[in-house]
Amino acid sequence: MQLGKAVRMERIMNRNNGRTIVVPIDHGVTVGPIYGLVDLRKTVNQVAEGGANAMLMHKGIPRCSHRNYGPDIGLIIHLSASTSLSPYPNAKTLVATVEDALSLGADAVSLHINLGDETEPRMLADLGAVCSEANKWGMPVLAMMYARGPKVTDEYDPAVVAHCARVGVELGADIVKVNYTGDPDSFRNVVNGACGVPVVIAGGPKLESDRDIVQMVHDSIQAGGSGLSVGRNIFQHADPSRIVKALHKVVHEDWSVDAAMELFD
């Protein structure tokens, strides 16, 4: 790995264990200014105080969220988008460039790819092109890989999730984000199929309890996962800093679920 990319990877991942806690706040483009994404400086500070490694956002949001105080946190600029108002919400379009991210001082870029959608060919072309361009600049790429389309009956199916992860790896992503498959054994196969590239899990819909998300993250780590990229279950939490602290203990200090849950008592 070239030096520039290695340095940037260490800004968004723990250099000692190769794991990360990423909190995406790119939802404003998709669904608007939802709860947790109005006072962005407050949200970013709560997440940073909790010990997250990086925030992920669109190119216009750093100016609304840069704090000038508090602990440092990595920055990932999201390059693709679609809205829930579109008749084609799964068709992601490039809305920023690697150069945009560099000018903002970003440590990585990310894209969202929906395999199985009718516009899959264009999204795959975008992923391949961005990975090539980012590699020239030593910029890491996080690929959010999901299966969503007419032929997809279960996007959490282990074989489908493993396919998603492998596509990201094959096209040059440095980190792949996928759905959790529901149990450590099946998720271990996903991780093993990613050829050593870090695999992080998505949060999905807002979960019922704090234990649910802590357990999911714990199990994914036990299966060889490299952490999480979770949005709503963190920034819409009643206490974002506390849930991040609990996840930090699990991801970076190998705490048990029961020990991490004591932080909520």
Q: Which two tokens stand for residue 46?
A: 């709560």
Q: Which two tokens stand for residue 33?
A: 């200014």
Question: Is 209 within 8 Å of 237 (Cβ atoms)?
Answer: no
Given the residues 5, 26, 210, 219, the one annotated as active site: 26
Question: From CA 116, how far away is CA 113, in angstroms rounded?
Answer: 9
Given the residues 146, 174, 210, 219, the one annotated as active site: 146
Question: From CA 178, how far away is CA 166, in angstroms rounded?
Answer: 10
Q: Which two tokens stand for residue 96?
A: 């920023």
Residues 6+ apart with CB under 8 A from 36: 25, 43, 232, 235, 236, 240
Given the residues 5, 59, 177, 249, the one annotated as active site: 177
Q: Tell me, yes or no, if 26 is annotated catalytic.
A: yes
Q: In angstroms, how far apart are the furthest CA atoms of the chain? A: 49
SS3 content of the chain, % helix, strand, coil (to 5): 45, 15, 40
Q: Tell me, yes or no, if 146 is annotated catalytic.
A: yes
Q: Tell me, yes or no, if 69 is annotated catalytic.
A: no
Q: Which residues are catalytic?
A: 26, 146, 177
